[in-house]
């Protein structure tokens, strides 16, 4: 989702999509603050609450694949059903596809690489293919840090 401006109002919207806009603030107001609106808007907080995959009012809250499909496209669901927390229009297809992919991966375990994510001090994800890559990165980072402190 992104934020769009129309007639001075900020709207939450999905780019190039038919879903209705959700008004979150007026940029013509001299006191308008985008960062504060993003963090504290009751409208955006309600959107976040409704679309949280574990929200018990969300149609997906009990589904076994909810962490993989994340409820499908919430904008598409909102456009079709008028509710952010309704069951996705293509739920059955998403569920079937994801379960099928799990079976394919189970039958072809060589396709799965061990991936380790390390959060660097800059806050960026690094992805390593092997444990040796991880060790090498940790050692080089420790060397850089010890040079800085000397």
Q: Same domain, yes or no, for 46 and 62?
A: no
Q: Same domain, yes or no, for 61 and 103?
A: yes
pLDDT at residue 135, rounded to an integer: 73
Please tell me the total count of domains within the chain: 3
Q: Same domain, yes or no, for 37 and 57?
A: no
Q: Same domain, yes or no, for 61 and 93?
A: yes
Q: Same domain, yes or no, for 41 and 59?
A: no
pLDDT at residue 122, rounded to an integer: 45
Q: Same domain, yes or no, for 4 and 43?
A: yes
Q: Which residues form the domain of 145?
A: 116-149
Q: Same domain, yes or no, for 46 and 2?
A: yes
Q: Same domain, yes or no, for 68 and 100?
A: yes
pLDDT at residue 106, rounded to an integer: 84
Q: Same domain, yes or no, for 1 and 46?
A: yes
Q: Same domain, yes or no, for 102 and 120?
A: no
Q: How far apart are CA 13 and CA 18, in angstroms?
A: 9
pLDDT beyond 50 at 116: no
Confidence grade of residue 93 (pLDDT, cut at 50, 70, 90): very high
Confidence grade of residue 89 (pLDDT, cut at 50, 70, 90): very high
Q: Same domain, yes or no, for 89 and 121?
A: no
Under 8 Å between Cβ of 4 and 21: yes
Q: How far apart are CA 36 and CA 45, in angstroms?
A: 12
pLDDT at residue 29, rounded to an integer: 80
The arithmetic mean of pLDDT across residues 95-121, rounded, is: 72
User: Residues 93, 97, 100, CA angle at the centre, nearest 5°?
Assistant: 140
Q: Same domain, yes or no, for 13 and 43?
A: yes
């Amino acid at each position: 989702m992104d934020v769009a401006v129309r007639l001075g109002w900020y709207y939450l919207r999905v780019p190039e999509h038919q879903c209705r806009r959700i008004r979150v603030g007026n940029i013509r107001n001299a006191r308008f603050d985008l960062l504060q609106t993003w963090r504290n808007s009751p409208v955006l907080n309600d959107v976040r609450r409704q679309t949280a995959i574990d929200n018990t009012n969300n149609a997906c809250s009990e589904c076994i694949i909810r962490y993989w499909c994340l409820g499908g496209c919430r904008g598409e669901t909102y456009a079709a059903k008028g509710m952010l927390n309704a069951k996705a229009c293509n739920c059955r297809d998403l569920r079937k596809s994801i379960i099928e992919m799990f079976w394919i991966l189970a039958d072809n375990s060589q396709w799965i690489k061990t991936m380790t994510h390390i959060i660097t001090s800059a806050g960026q994800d690094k992805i390593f293919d092997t444990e040796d890559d991880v060790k090498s990165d940790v050692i080089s980072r420790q060397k850089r840090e010890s040079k800085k402190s000397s």
